[in-house]
Amino acid sequence: MLPERLNKVIHLLARLPGVGEKTAQRFALFLATEAGDVANHLGAELTTLLDHIRPCDRCGNLADYDGTAAICDVCRDTRRDSNLLCIVARVQDLLAVERSGAMRGRYFVLGKLLSPLDGIGPEELPLERMINRIREDKVTEVIVATPPSVDGEATALLVARELEPTGIAISRIASGVPHGGDLEFADQITLGRAIDGRKAIDG
């Protein structure tokens, strides 16, 4: 029913996360009938995107690539505490931690989580690069901010074990009932962790 070229675009858009064929068709028809300027600009930007951005050479965050090196904004920022390192799974998680405003150090992006079921073992994680980074920056404290899932916990344990010989202080972000959340609707694992992770109330 639709031109072949448009079907190709629909097929590609349907690969975006959370986008099905129907939404992809809606996007494609919008680009083709209402927003030709967006189609043209997006086309031009996407065509050259991967030539101009790279994972940061130091931390794995996304960075502008100038042809020789890619250093991200966080690694360039000299006001940050380089002795404090937060380890995350993905760039998205780095952005989420940044939004919280609670992290004044730098980051290291693992890129993936340990996942025996998907065949991702320790050798697939950039542990050597992580340790080099920690040595170079004379990091004294590491916060592991992998997600509180089975894979995230396994990865956190692996990171902690790798860093044990260095004697660096290692912590894991707290898991519990979210701020504003209702105990009634919290699942039992979350509530169990909230109780396990309880803190003394300073009177």
Q: Which of 5, 76, 104, 161 binds a copy of itself (CB under 8 A)?
A: 5
Tell me what percent of the chain is helix, strand and coil, each rounded to the nearest 5.
50, 15, 35
Sheet strands (E) in the chain: 53-55, 62-64, 84-88, 106-109, 141-144, 169-172
Q: Which of 16, 69, 102, 174 binds a copy of itself (CB under 8 A)?
A: 16
d(CA 13, CA 39): 12
Q: Which of 20, 38, 69, 136 binds a copy of itself (CB under 8 A)?
A: 38
* Minimum distance of a copy of itself from residue 152's CB (angstroms): 18
**Rule CB under 8 A: is residue 73 a binding residue for a copy of itself?**
yes
Contact 134, 85 (CB under 8 A): yes
* Minimum distance of a copy of itself from residue 167's CB (angstroms): 32
Exposure of 141 in the CB half-sphere (CA atoms within 13 A): 11
**Rule CB under 8 A: is residue 115 a binding residue for a copy of itself?**
no
Footprint on this chain of a copy of itself (rule: CB under 8 A): 1-6, 8-9, 12-13, 15-19, 23, 25-27, 29-33, 35-36, 38-50, 52-53, 55, 62-64, 72-74, 90-92, 95, 98
